[in-house]
């Protein structure tokens, strides 16, 4: 029997939920608000909340000083490219681990996850040298590959979890029906795992978009994505809070919009295995 | 054609031998049922025939051709799974057409065959639905439809009715039997339900721990079980077994007598006991008789309503011609 929850208890929960959400959201809100303030009012004390002279000047300045769209385009290529490549590699890998596990599959999965426990900076020098020798420094190709590799364990783990939910008998039925391995994955497994694959895609686009460590260290100008765009503003013009906020807002806006429209899919995907 | 031959087939999972060396011949057009308690290897055996599991040694041939190494798709067999295993993202039409599509058949011929199969299985009205919108029985029919469109050499059924409710199960049982009559294609059917085995099979293969205990027609198994296991497994309610002096008197270690081969009397008979439970089925009454000094309990099947009540003393008269005798190893004497 469901436990009766009192109105008082319910409103308390709601209050806490809102409070936590607000605390989490506040830095973003403040960045967005600051981006519309004149520089002088951006650092005013006490801070101004909405009662300031709204302006778009910061956005114009930012765009004038640095071409936003070049960075934006690099971010798009890196996020979509690394995610697409990762999923192409991840689907067969997750298939084999979910449906034809060997004796060491479990260890392999743990090992892949363990690579995420190491600080990335630990491999910065070797990777930098490899990139230098291969001529991949400051190239989109190089960044697509390195960001993909960083996210690959997560991609495989997520897909593995979704695939585990698909009854093996259906794949066996496909095999009996004459499907080759490729057709089995293409016509049966992939369509059935669409919600899971979609969540994996979304989460990894977000992760790749927000990736800063590798993009900052391996890109200079040509392949620089939005992380470089923001950091370019923070050092020489660190005191110009309003401009910096405008740059940040422009950098996070696309992914924020994507996340907003896909939040249902994301939540469903992330809790898929857990609450089924 | 659908003649399936297993020669010296074994299956090991790691160190455990699930199927010890086994030989079996399934003739073309035969309806063969693999039956046995859960874990006896009957599903594994079916999957070895299907090619979904690799044999550890031995040979599987279909119509005289060695198929031991062939992938499932090349064996020309169709399978119906316990869970139906329909493709949830495809319509009924696409589900049934899937094997034809995989075979690269042209669209018109695909459509013609799907329509024909749907007609046979009363699915015409549901062709554009998704499996999720169908009842259990309809889903099972779609699974069968998917199997018959290919015109396979043989059908493999893996406990296809165990997810259906009792009434539907009886109906589907008949439909599958009729289908077999009409198509005259070899069918290999796995079940743990001995009633399904008895009613459907031309030939029953009783399995225990991966070994074949007996192969024979349903009545053969009923009348002449080769060992105590088969005797106890085939027939419902199960056979009564009596050990000790009474068995020795018949020159056996154990004797078995089926509940329907014992007559209950309230006045006389060689065995005396007390009724503890009566089960009325309308057509028959089952008595569970204790305190006979022969076995812990004996089950007796009497026609009609019966007259003994729990607590009553009764006398039992076994039909001496129908006593089965087994030695200490359980083999028939």
Q: What is the DSSP string of B254-317?
A: EEEE-GGGEEEESS--SEEEEEEEEEE-SSEEEEEEE--SSSS-EEEEEESS-S--TT-EEEEE
B85 touches chain A (CB under 8 A): yes
Residues of B within 8 A of A179 (CB-CB) are 73, 98, 102
> Using CA atoms, how far apart are residues A142 and A128, in angstroms rounded to an integer?
11
On whether any CB of chain A is under 8 Å from the CB of B135, the answer is: no
Nearest CA in chain A to B96: A177
Put simply, the answer to whether A177 touches B150 (Cβ < 8 Å) is yes
- Compute the distance between CA of residue A93 and CA of residue A122 in angstroms, rounded to an integer: 26
Rounded Cα distance between A207 and B130, Å, is 36
pLDDT of residue A276: 33
pLDDT > 50? residue A1: no
CB contacts, 8 Å: B85 with chain A: 167, 169-170, 172-173
State whether residue B54 sits within 8 Å of chain A by CB.
no
C-alpha A96/C-alpha A163 separation (Å) is 10
Q: Where do the structural domains in chain B lie, given as residue ranges? A: 4-231, 238-326
CA distance B168 to chain A (A): 23
Of A177, A191, A194, the CB nearest to B99: A177
Residue B28 — very low, low, confident or very high, per pLDDT cuts 50/70/90?
very high
pLDDT in tens, B116-146: 999 988 899 999 999 989 988 899 999 999 9
Identity of the highest mean pLDDT range in A117-131, A183-197, B248-262: B248-262
Closest-CA residue of chain B to A102: B14
Q: Which residues of A are less than 8 Å from B86 in CB distance?
A: 170, 173
Q: CA geometry: angle at B191 spanning B135 and B166, to 5°?
A: 40
ipTM for the assembly: 0.84
Q: From the list A169, A180, A192, which residue is nearest B89 (CB)?
A: A192
**pLDDT in the model for residue A40:** 79
How big is the CA angle at B145 (ends B144 and B148), to the nearest 5 degrees?
Answer: 85
User: Does A275 score more than 60 pLDDT?
Assistant: no
**CB of A238 less than 8 A from some CB of B:** no
Q: Please give the helix or strand (H or E) that residue B13 lies within, else none.
A: strand B4-13
The predicted model gives B80-88 an average pLDDT of 91
Asked if B163 reaches chain A (Cβ–Cβ under 8 Å), the answer is no
Architecture of the domain delimited by B238-326: Beta Barrel (2.40)
Given a cut of 50, whether residue A210 has pLDDT beyond it is yes
Average pLDDT of chain A to the nearest whole number: 85
Reported as a single tens digit per residue, the pLDDT across B161-196 is: 988 888 888 888 998 999 999 999 999 999 999 899
pLDDT at position A2 over 70: no
- Three-class SS state of B132: helix
Please state, as a whole number, how many other Cβ atoms lie within 10 Å of the Cβ of residue B197.
Answer: 25
B73: which chain A residues are within 8 Å (Cβ-Cβ)?
A: 175-180
Closest-CA residue of A relative to B147 is A177
Mutant choice from A100, A165, A176 vs B, greatest count of B C-beta within 10 A: A176
Q: What is the pLDDT of residues B198-226, one digit of tens each?
A: 999 999 999 999 899 999 999 999 999 99
Q: pLDDT band at A274, cuts 50/70/90?
A: very low
Q: What span, in angstroms and rounded, lies between the C-alpha atoms of B24 and B204?
A: 12
- Residue A47 confidence (pLDDT): 82
Report whether pLDDT(A273) > 50.
Answer: no
- Give the pLDDT of residue A151: 92
Q: Is the pLDDT of residue A235 over 80?
A: no
Inform me whether the C-beta atom of residue A176 falls under 8 Å from chain B C-beta atoms: yes
Determine what percent of chain B is predicted with pLDDT higher than 70.
Answer: 100
Q: Per mean pLDDT, which range of A62-71, A77-86, B67-76 is the poorest?
A: A62-71
Least confident of A156-165, A253-262, B45-54, B239-248: A253-262
Determine, for residues B72 and A175 on separate chains, whether the beta-carbon distance falls below 8 Å.
yes
CA distances from B236 to B135, B198, B240 (A): 30, 11, 11
Is the Cβ of B160 closer than 8 Å to some Cβ of chain A?
Answer: no
Q: Does A169 touch chain B (CB under 8 A)?
A: yes
Q: Is the pLDDT of residue B251 over 70?
A: yes
Any A CB within 8 A of B83 CB: yes
Tokens of B17: 């031998």
Longest CA–CA separation in chain A, Å: 73
| pLDDT over 50 (residue A17) | yes
- Residues B144 and B167: their CA atoms lie apart, in Å, by 19
B73 vs A: CB within 8 A? yes
CA distance readout (Å), B250 to A142, A217, A231, B320, B323: 88, 93, 98, 10, 9
User: Coil, helix or strand for B103?
Assistant: coil
A178: nearest CB among B86, B89, B103: B103
Whether residue B72 and residue A173 make contact (CB cut-off 8 A), yes or no, is no
pLDDT of A55 above 90: no
B87/A167 touch (CB, cutoff 8 Å), yes or no: no
- Long-range (24+ apart) CB contacts under 8 A made by A259-265 are A259/A202, A259/A206, A262/A202, A265/A195, A265/A198, A265/A199, A265/A202
**Four-CA torsion B322, B324, B325, B329, nearest 10 degrees:** 180
How many other CB atoms are found less than 10 A from the CB of residue B284? 16
Tokens representing B287 are 């008595």
| In the predicted structure, residue B59 carries a pLDDT above the cut 80 | yes
Q: Is the CB of A192 less than 8 angstroms away from the CB of B88?
A: yes
- B13, pLDDT greater than 80: yes
> A172 to chain B, minimum CA–CA distance in Å?
7
Determine which helix (DSSP H) or strand (DSSP E) holds B207, and give its type and residue range: strand B203-208
The partner residue sitting opposite B85, judged by closest CB among A167, A179, A180, is: A167
B99/A192 Cβ within 8 A: no
Please report residues of A whose CB lies closer than 8 A to that of B113: none
Predicted confidence at residue A270, as pLDDT, reads: 61
Residue A138 burial (C-beta neighbours within 10 Å; 0-12, 13-18, 19+): middle
How does residue A120 score in pLDDT terms, banded at 50, 70 and 90? confident
Q: Indicate the SS3 state at residue A237.
A: coil
Taking each helix axis from N to C terminus, what angle separates A194-210 and A241-261, rounded to the nearest 10 degrees?
170
B110 contacts B131 by C-beta, under 8 angstroms = no
A179 vs A229, residue with greater confidence: A179
Distance CA A159, CA A197 (A): 7
Contact yes or no for A247/A233 (Cβ under 8 A)? yes
DSSP annotation of A189 reads: I
Q: Which of residues 186-215 of B touch A (CB under 8 A)?
A: none
Residue B88, chain A, CB below 8 Å: the answer is yes
Q: What is the pLDDT of residue A50?
A: 78
Q: Is A174 part of the contact surface with chain B (CB cutoff 8 Å)?
A: yes
The answer to whether the CB of B129 falls within 8 A of the CB of B92 is yes
pTM of the model: 0.78
Q: Which residue of B has its CA nearest to A168?
A: B85
Nearest to residue A63, comparing CAs of A39, A43, A37, A35? A35
Q: Do residues A229 and A251 touch, judged by C-beta distance below 8 A?
A: yes
Contact B291, B273 (CB under 8 A): yes
* Predicted local confidence at residue A268, as pLDDT: 67
Across the interface, whether the CB atoms of A192 and B87 are under 8 A apart is answered yes
What tokens does A125 get? 């020098």
Tens digit of each residue's pLDDT (9 = 90 or more) over A133-188: 999 888 999 999 999 999 999 999 999 988 888 888 899 999 999 998 889 988 99
List b or e across A64-100, with b for residues whose CB sees 16 or more CB atoms inside 10 angstroms. Answer: eeeebeebbebbbbbbbbbbebbbeebbebbbebbbe
Q: What is the pLDDT of residue B162?
A: 87
Coil, strand or helix: which one is A193?
A: coil
Q: Where does the pLDDT of residue A4 fall: very low under 50, low under 70, confident under 90, or very high at 90 and above?
A: low
Q: CA torsion angle for B194, B200, B204, B210 (degrees, to 10)?
A: -60
- Cβ A55 vs Cβ A245: under 8 Å: no
Q: What is the pLDDT of residues B66-75, one digit of tens each?
A: 999 999 988 9
Pairs across A and B, CB distance < 8 A: 59
**Distance, in angstroms, between A181 CA and closest chain B CA?**
11
Does domain A68-275 bear CATH number 2.40.10.340? no
Fold of domain B4-231: Rossmann fold (3.40.50)
Average pLDDT, chain B: 92
The two tokens of residue B112 are 């013609």
Q: How far apart are the C-alpha atoms of B227 and B330, rounded to whole Å?
A: 5
For residues A131 and A137, the answer to whether their CB atoms sit within 8 Å is yes
Quick: pLDDT tens for B149-162: 988 999 999 999 98
């Amino acid at each position: 029997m469901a436990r009766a929850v009192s109105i008082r208890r319910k409103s308390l929960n709601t209050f806490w939920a809102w409070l936590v959400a607000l605390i989490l959201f506040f830095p973003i809100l403040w960045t967005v608000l600051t981006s519309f303030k004149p520089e002088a009012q951006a650092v005013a004390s006490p801070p101004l909340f909405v009662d300031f002279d709204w302006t778009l000047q910061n956005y114009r300045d930012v765009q004038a000083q640095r071409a936003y769209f070049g960075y934006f385009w690099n971010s798009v290529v890196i996020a979509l490219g690394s995610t697409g490549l990762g999923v192409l590699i991840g689907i067969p890998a997750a298939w084999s681990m979910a449906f034809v596990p060997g004796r060491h599959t479990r260890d392999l999965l743990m090992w892949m996850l363990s690579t995420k426990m190491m600080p990335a900076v630990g491999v910065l020098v070797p990777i930098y040298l490899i990139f230098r020798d291969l001529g991949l420094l400051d190239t989109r190709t190089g960044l697509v590959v390195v960001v993909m590799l960083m996210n690959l364990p997560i991609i495989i783990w997520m897909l593995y979890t979704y695939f585990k939910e698909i009854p093996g008998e259906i794949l066996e039925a496909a095999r009996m029906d004459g499907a080759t391995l490729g057709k089995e994955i293409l016509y049966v497994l992939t369509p059935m795992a669409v919600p899971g694959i979609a969540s994996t895609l979304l989460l990894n686009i977000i992760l790749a978009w927000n990736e800063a460590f590798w993009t900052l260290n391996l890109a200079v100008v040509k392949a620089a994505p939005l992380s470089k765009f923001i950091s370019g503003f923070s050092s020489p013009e660190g005191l110009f809070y309003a401009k910096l906020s405008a740059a940040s807002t422009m950098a996070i806006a696309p992914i924020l919009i994507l996340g907003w429209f896909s939040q249902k899919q994301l939540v469903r995907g992330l809790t898929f295995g857990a609450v089924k | 054609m659908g003649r399936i031959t297993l020669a010296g087939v074994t299956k090991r999972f790691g160190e455990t031998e699930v199927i010890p060396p086994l030989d079996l011949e399934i003739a073309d057009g035969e309806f063969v049922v693999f039956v046995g308690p859960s874990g006896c290897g009957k599903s594994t055996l079916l999957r070895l025939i299907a090619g979904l599991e690799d044999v550890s040694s031995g040979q599987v041939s279909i119509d005289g051709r060695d198929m031991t190494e062939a992938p499932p798709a090349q064996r020309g067999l169709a399978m119906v799974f316990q869970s139906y295993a329909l493709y949830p993202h495809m319509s009924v039409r696409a589900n049934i057409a899937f094997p034809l599509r995989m075979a690269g058949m042209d669209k018109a011929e695909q459509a013609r065959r799907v329509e024909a199969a749907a007609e046979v299985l009363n699915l015409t009205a549901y062709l554009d639905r998704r499996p999720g919108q169908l009842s259990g029985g309809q889903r099972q029919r779609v699974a069968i439809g998917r199997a018959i469109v290919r015109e396979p050499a043989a059908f493999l059924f893996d406990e296809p009715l165990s997810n259906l409710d009792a009434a539907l199960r009886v109906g589907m049982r008949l439909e599958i039997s009729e289908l077999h009559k009409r198509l005259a294609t070899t069918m290999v059917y796995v079940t743990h339900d001995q009633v399904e085995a008895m009613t459907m099979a031309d030939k029953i293969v009783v399995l225990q721990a991966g070994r074949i205990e007996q192969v024979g027609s349903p009545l053969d198994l009923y009348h002449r079980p080769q060992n105590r296991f088969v005797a106890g497994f085939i027939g419902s309610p199960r056979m009564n077994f009596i050990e000790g002096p009474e068995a020795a008197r018949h020159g056996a270690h154990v004797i078995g007598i089926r509940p329907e081969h014992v007559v209950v009397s309230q006045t006389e008979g060689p065995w005396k006991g007390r009724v503890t439970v009566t089960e009325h089925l309308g057509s028959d009454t089952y008595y569970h008789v204790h305190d006979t000094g022969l076995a812990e309990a004996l089950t007796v099947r009497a026609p009609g309503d019966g007259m003994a009540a729990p607590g009553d003393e009764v006398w039992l008269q076994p039909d001496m011609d129908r006593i089965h005798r087994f030695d200490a190893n359980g083999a028939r004497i």
